[in-house]
Amino acid sequence: MSVIPVLVKREFTSRVKGTAYILTTLVGVLVFVGLSFLPPLMERLSSTLMPKSIDLVVMDHGAEPSLFPYLVELGQAREGLTIRDASSWDERDAYRLVLDEGLSGLLLIDGPLTTLVTPDSKNVVLNEEIENLVNQAATMWKAAQLGLTPAEMESLFNAVDFRIREVRPQQEDGTEVDHAAQTQAMVLAYFLLFMIYMALIMYGNMVASGVAEEKSSRIMEVMISTVKPLELMFGKIIGVGALGLVQFVIWISTGLAMALMGRTGLMRALLGMTEPLKAVPLDSILWFGLFFLLGYFFYASIFAAAGALVSRVEEVSQVVSLLMMFIVVGFFGAYLSFLNPNSGFAVTASLIPFTAPMVMFARIMLADPPLAQVAASVAIMLCSIVVGTWISSKIYRIGILLYGKRPTLRQVVQLLKG
């Protein structure tokens, strides 16, 4: 019987009960719930910042364009907006009125130049609102100059009805693309992609520091007298992977539950996801699972080898920083692929093992890449996992007995040849 299950069990149980693991899981859940509620909260908060009423005194010197009549028109149409004429007043009296009665401000209109005299120039929200009003009045004036009717005016601002249809080889009539559905797919893809990215970094680091811990605590010496290095490495990788899977199942369930309940929250705020999720996107979750595992197994073995090269846990971050760069590049590659999932760049990146797990996943989520490309990507990942694990296990085998100065890259290559 193999010892791998025993190693996996130790890795899993000793960490799953740990404060660090429980805390990060809980914090993750709180973040997901919190983010889902954050934008409505922000909306409510910002509405309290908005002025309830705007009370303006206007001094229009009568030069063209004379905006006062249009401001009055706006004031009649809009609730909470009061416009008073002070054109014949002395400017100082107008100032006094603004200060004494706590008005929103005094507008000095002199042809194309409009000046707002305000008791509070720092109130950005209010002042912007007033600027908008003046601009609206200016547009109305211009429309009147051109002799446009209100209907003509409105048609000026009407957008074109722009739709997209996609033709596919099997379906030549062209299907209309449901924009809302596409946005939803994109938001979901982005969310899951971010999860893969997080998982690779978090659990890759956990593997590397786990190996370094075993080395620095010297438990490694006892282990390798009875367990083969390859078994040790797999025990660690599978154990940490299981921890990751549990944590991500919890997090993603939380995120999806929020989306199903209509709490699209941050996704809506950032990416314009307006409708609540209608059903659990099972195929997306399965693709996520596949590329999560492919990416994790590829990177984890390399992280394990990196961890085996250092003598102390403190040094881990130095050796893994290079690996993290690859993951970051993969993430940005996938992000760029979002803009054009079938570009040459995206196709190439989805076939390179370092970037494939994230880029191919992004492409599948957004477009329907040819099956051959998906198969090629998965096959390349599987081969890379075998080759990567093989090379890593050799480095690992040598590394776990090395203490003292960290070997240089050249020395590692020499060791591999020897």
Partner 1 sequence: MSLVVAEVTKRFRDITAVDQLSFTVREGALFGFLGPNGAGKTTTMRVILGILKPEEGQVTWKGRPLDRLGPGFYGYLPEERGLYPKMRVAEHLEFLGRIHGLDRTRARREVDRWLERFELGAVRSKRIEELSKGNQQKVQVIGTMLHDPELLILDEPFAGLDPVNAGLLKEVLLEAHGRGKTIIFSSHRMEQVEEICQDIALINLGRLVLHGNLRQIKKAMGRQILRLSLEGNLDFWAKIPGLQLVAERADYLEFKLEDGLDPNRVLAEAMEAGQVIRFELVEPSLDQIFLEKVGAGA
Given the rule CB under 8 A, which residues bind partner 1? Answer: 3, 6-7, 10, 14, 18, 214, 217-227, 401
Contact partners, residue 55, CB within 8 Å, separation at least 6 = 82, 84, 101, 103, 104
Per-residue H/E/C for 87-143: CCCCHHHHHHHHHHHCCCEEEEEECCEEEEECCCCCCHHHHHHHHHHHHHHHHHHHH
Helix (H, G, I), strand (E, B) or coil at 168: strand
**Which one, 171 or 226, has the nearer CB to partner 1?**
226
Q: How far is the CB of 340 from partner 1 (least distance, A)?
A: 48
| Residue 171 β-bridge partners | 168
Short-list 37, 33, 358, CA closest to 194: 358
**Which one, 223 or 277, has the nearer CB to partner 1?**
223
Quote the CA–CA distance of 102 and 120 in Å, as a whole number.
Answer: 10
**Which one, 16 or 336, has the nearer CB to partner 1?**
16
Q: How far is the CB of 213 from partner 1 (least distance, A)?
A: 8
**Which one, 308 or 362, has the nearer CB to partner 1?**
308
Q: How far is the CB of 234 from partner 1 (least distance, A)?
A: 13
**Which one, 78 or 218, has the nearer CB to partner 1?**
218
Q: How far is the CB of 219 from partner 1 (least distance, A)?
A: 4
**Which one, 109 or 227, has the nearer CB to partner 1?**
227
Quote the CA–CA distance of 140 and 133 in Å, as a whole number.
Answer: 11
Short-list 102, 97, 101, 105, CA closest to 127: 105
Q: How far is the CB of 233 from partner 1 (least distance, A)?
A: 14
**Which one, 22 or 99, has the nearer CB to partner 1?**
22
Q: How far is the CB of 203 from partner 1 (least distance, A)?
A: 18
Q: How far is the CB of 11 from partner 1 (least distance, A)?
A: 10
Q: How far is the CB of 215 from partner 1 (least distance, A)?
A: 9
- DSSP sequence for 203-228: HHHHHHHHHHHHHHTTHHHHHHTTS-
| Residue 84 β-bridge partners | 57
**Which one, 223 or 320, has the nearer CB to partner 1?**
223
Distances (CA, A) of 11 to 8, 103, 183, 210, 283: 5, 68, 40, 9, 30
Which residue type, as a one-letter code, is found at position 181? A
Measured from the Cβ of residue 204, the count of other Cβ atoms closer than 10 Å reads: 28
Tokens of 131: 């600027």
Quote the CA–CA distance of 390 and 399 in Å, as a whole number.
Answer: 14
Q: How far is the CB of 21 from partner 1 (least distance, A)?
A: 11
**Which one, 18 or 40, has the nearer CB to partner 1?**
18
